Amino acid sequence: MRYLTDRKRAEGKGASRTGTEHHWSMQLSGVGLAFLVPTFIYIFGHALGSDAAAAQAMFARPFTAILTGLVLVVSMRHFARGAAMMIEDYWRGTARKMALIFVISLSWAVSAAGLFALAEIAL
Amino acid sequence: MATETRTIRPLSPHIQIYRWQIPMLTSIITRITGNALAVSAVLVVWWLLALASGPDAYALANSVITSWFGDIVMVLSAWGLWYHYLAGLRHLYYDAGKGLDIPTAEKLGLAVIAGSVVLTVLTVIIV
């Protein structure tokens, strides 16, 4: 005889109830990045390889600093949720939780480090 | 009532025995490029931090990123970014309920692959 009821066995195996919100946030950040990224590639590509003073002057400009800040934060949110999708497809249990914690922490660390650098350069 | 009934459910096709096709290939590359771009993001932020820390740190970061190895990584990053970019646009088109029939989906997949290569070459030329 099984002591677990049907209801107990079914619990936690249904929909997460957050899928729509997750999908919408990926669309939202994706469209935002579609506008931001080409300009960023152009600016960053030109700054690469230039001397420190020129690169510093370029990233101290408000337009460049704001654009780079937006690209960093929006792309890291997009990455955290996209990587979470992959992790949830391939891992379960503790491994899944650890991988999710790692990816979300990494995304915040990269955002924070990038914003600190931008503030240091621009101010 | 509490007995568990198990039904044999069909398993999703396993990639080893499933014939490769354009929509499947382009979807998998979207996931790989998206996650691999995290490496590019870390490199870009490292470069920015070095720029903020002073000339010595910047000289090191700049020499690594513009070395032959750095160039390969940056060109691959540009390709990954453009690929993910076009595939993302394709996703938005799919989400609008369009382009889901097989001939159109295959054409879109080829367009994403070709477009990403063209845009990468253009990026290398312009930047």
Closest Cβ opposite residue B51 in set A31, A83, A121:
A121
Asked if the Cβ–Cβ distance from B34 to A79 is below 8 Å, we say yes
Q: How many CA atoms lie within 13 A of B17 on its CB side?
A: 4
What is the distance between the alpha carbons of residues A33 and A38, in angstroms, rounded to a whole number?
A: 9
- Here the ipTM equals 0.89
Q: Enter the tokens of residue A110.
A: 């990269």
Domains parsed from chain A with CATH numbers: 6-122 (1.20.1300.10)
CB B101 within 8 A of CB A61: no
Q: Enter the tokens of residue A103.
A: 């990816």
CA distance A35 to chain B (A): 10
Provide mean pLDDT across the span B91-99: 94
* Residues B22-126, CATH architecture: Up-down Bundle (1.20)
CA closest to A65 among chain B residues: B48
pLDDT digits (tens, 9 = 90+) for A5-56: 888 888 878 888 899 999 999 999 999 999 999 999 999 999 998 889 999 9
Asked if the Cβ–Cβ distance from A4 to B1 is below 8 Å, we say no
CA distance B18 to chain A (A): 19
Cβ of residue A59 closer than 8 Å to a chain B Cβ: yes
Q: Is the pLDDT of residue B112 over 60?
A: yes
pLDDT digits (tens, 9 = 90+) for B17-44: 778 889 889 999 999 999 999 999 999 9
Ordered DSSP codes for B67-101? SHHHHHHHHHHHHHHHHHHHHHHHHHHHHTT-S-S
Q: Residue A96: CB partners within 8 Å, gap ≥ 6?
A: A87, A88
Sorted by where each begins, the domain ranges of chain B are 22-126
